[in-house]
Structure formats: C-alpha cells, structure tokens
Amino acid sequence: MSRSPGKLATSGRVVALCGGVGGAKLALGLQHVLGERLSVVVNMADDFNHLGLYISPDLDTVLYTLGGLSDEARGWGRAGETWNFMEALKQVGGETWFQLGDRDLALHVERTRRRSLGETPTAIARDIAWRFGLRAAILPATDDDLRTMVVTPEGELEFQHYFVARRCEPTVQRIRFDGCESAKATDNVRRALEADDLELIVICPSNPYLSIDPILAVQDIAERLRAARVPVVAVSPIIGGQAIKGPTRKIMDELGLVPTNAEIAAHYRGLIDGLMIDQADAADAAALGIATHIAPTLMTDLPSKIRLAEQVLAFGERLQGAPSLKTAASGDMP
C-alpha cells in the first residue's frame, strides 16, 4: 500500500508538534521520509525537577525514539536499560516513585549540569540530537518555564507528581499551564514555523489535552498555527472509536471531555485545516466539519510509522493551495 513520494516527500520542510510516546512514533516515521527537512516541536510542560535533576520526559522520549534508542517493547525509556541506580537509591532512602534507568540518568545529569551553566534547553537538545545521530531538528516548544499543573481537591500537583507519584488518583478539576502568559516560542521554533520552504504543519497523535495543549499554550506558537499559510493537519489519536485509555481516560472523564473524533475536530477548530482519522472511523468523517483524510493510523512497527507519515504528507499535499477552512464549518474536502 506504499505510495510513491509526492512533492512534500521530496522538497518541502515540515514542522510536527509532538508530545511523548504516541506522537514520537509518527515523528520517527516523518524523520524517515523527510530527514533533516523535519523539525519536531516538543512539549516541555511535563518537565519537572526531581532528585535535583532537570527531567524532560517528552523531549527525551522524542530524542530516544528518533535516535533509535528507545525500548519498543516496554514503550518508554531506553533499550538495554538497567535499574541498579534505582535499587541503590531505594537503599539510601531516596525517592523512587519516578523510574530512572541507569542509561537514561546520564541525559538528566548532563542536562542539569549544562543548564546550571546557563545553556538553554534548546541548545542542549540540539547537541544531544546531533550526538544521537538524529536528522530531524528537535525543538523544545519554549525555553521558558511552563508547567502543566493539575488542580485537584488536594490542591495543585505538578503533572508528573499527579500522573506518576499519585497514579492519577486525585480527581482532576482543572488543568492549567503555569507560566503560559509569559512563555515564548524559541527563535528556532519561530523560524521553523515561518520558513519560506515550510509546506506543512502536523499535529501528531499525542493526547490533545495533555501533550499538545501545553505546546499551544505558548501564545506565539498558537498564533503562528492560526496564521499559517501552509496546511495544518492533525492526526487523531482516536482509533476504531476507542477513546484514549487508562489513566488519561480518567482525566478526560473528570474534565467532562469525551475524546471522539468530533471532540478532537472541535478542539483544534481554528488551528487546523484537516484531520486525519483512522480507517475504522471512516464513518465519522462526514460530521466533523473539517477536511479529513482516512488511513490506517495504528503504528505497530517502523513500516507502519513510515506509511502513516507518507499518508500525512499526501494529505498535506492535497490541502495545499486549497482555501483554508480554519474559520469555516464545512464538511469533507471535495
């Protein structure tokens, strides 16, 4: 079912907005097709300080995934990982609620050292990406402090404390992005979104509320998406009518959010020109009020990631030159 590469696959630049594991899979496929013509703008609002270390979970997932270093079977962290640090940390009475592998730890220690010397997250990510042999540019959405805070009856919790340490037990009343009033897109992100040869902006199938919203909470990123002269397409995280599962589903329920393609389309309205949905949800297309592209979106292996990337690029090509429907409320593309 592989298609021959179109224009986007051979010349234009693409920016992808991405959270952690799910989004990184598509980013890996896009890197495979686009190489250095891909820039990945990554959520930084899950970052937290733990054991005195700066930890950037989504950024590191993207770095490991696109560097071919991630553990595919476990679904997070590095391949060939060992856990002797954690075992010894428990022995000396340290906090062990956040799993840090022995190899993974090196990135946190080195990042923390460089940040203490005044290096920006962007500069550090660029260097690490180069060392890991990545071809895509990995761009933190912002170098400013921006934190996903979960408002619960017990008070406000940092996202990782809520999500990992508290295992999502407290009821979520609200999610807010601390620092979003002042957080600015980095120069690199602005340049990527304004490049003359930019041809497509992709929102990866990361959780819209927890992974993409904190990127869009950076005002000058959201503004550039709204004003973009190139197509902006999102890949829906819904597959086969299945909403996001597990603890994230609990959060959505508590916030009164029903993750369906209709909800995703409504959520991104005004920002995107098209929504890519899974073939199993083809019946949703007509009612979404936005251009759609139907394809298999489940990514199980590298070929399926590359195929989805090609489909995304094909969708972008199809939308190029078409009148933007961001402010309209029309149906599928003709």
Strands laid side by side in the 38-42 sheet: 137-140, 38-42, 13-18, 198-203, 232-235, 274-278, 291-295
CB of 49 to its own copies, least distance (A): 10
Is residue 78 near its own copies by the rule CB under 8 A? Answer: yes
CB of 97 to its own copies, least distance (A): 14
Among 11, 88, 154, 240, binds its own copies (CB under 8 A): 88
Stretch that binds its own copies, among 7-15, 97-105, 186-194, 224-232 (CB under 8 A): 97-105
Minimum distance, C-beta of residue 136 to its own copies, in the bound complex (Å): 18
Shortest approach of its own copies to residue 259 CB, angstroms?
Answer: 36
Give the C-alpha separation, 267 to 11, whole Å. 31
CB of 305 to its own copies, least distance (A): 24
Question: Out of 46, 104, 143, 284, which residue is the one contacting its own copies (CB under 8 A)?
Answer: 104
Query: What distance in Å separates the CA atoms of residue 31 and residue 25, rounded to the nearest whole number?
Result: 10
Binders of its own copies among residues 114 to 153 (CB under 8 A) are: 116, 127-128, 131-132
Structure tokens at 241: 């009518």
**Nearest of 100, 63, 75 to residue 21 by alpha carbon:** 75
Among 73, 92, 196, 256, binds its own copies (CB under 8 A): 92
Among 6, 21, 98, 103, binds its own copies (CB under 8 A): 103
**What are the backbone angles phi and psi of residue 266, rounded to the nearest 5°?**
-65, -40
User: Number of residues in contact with its own copies, rule: CB under 8 A?
Assistant: 33
Q: Are 265 and 300 in contact (CB under 8 A)?
A: no
How do beta strands 291-295 and 274-278 pair?
parallel
- β-strands 198-203, 48-50 pairing: unpaired
Q: Cβ 26 to its own copies, closest distance in Å?
A: 25
Candidate residues 6, 71, 112, 120; the one interacting with its own copies per rule CB under 8 A: 112
- Work out whether 243 is an interface residue with its own copies (CB under 8 A): no
Contact by Cβ (8 Å): 32, 16: no
User: Least distance from C-beta 113 to its own copies, angstroms?
Assistant: 5
3-class DSSP state for residue 291?
Answer: strand
Q: Is 26 in the site for its own copies (CB under 8 A)?
A: no
Q: Which residues are 147's β-sheet partners?
A: 178
Stretch touching its own copies by CB under 8 A, among 4-12, 74-82, 198-206, 319-327: 74-82
DSSP state of 284: G
> What amino acid occupies position 71?
D
Q: What type of residue sits at position 93?
A: G
- Of the two residues 94 and 303, which places its CB atom closer to its own copies in the complex? 94
Residue 191 C-alpha from the chain's centroid: 19
Cβ-based nearer residue to its own copies, 82 or 173: 82
Q: How far apart are CA 215 and CA 221, in angstroms?
A: 7
Q: Does 102 bind its own copies (CB under 8 A)?
A: yes
Residues that bind its own copies (CB under 8 A): 51-53, 78, 80-82, 84-89, 91-94, 101-107, 109-110, 112-113, 116, 127-128, 131-132
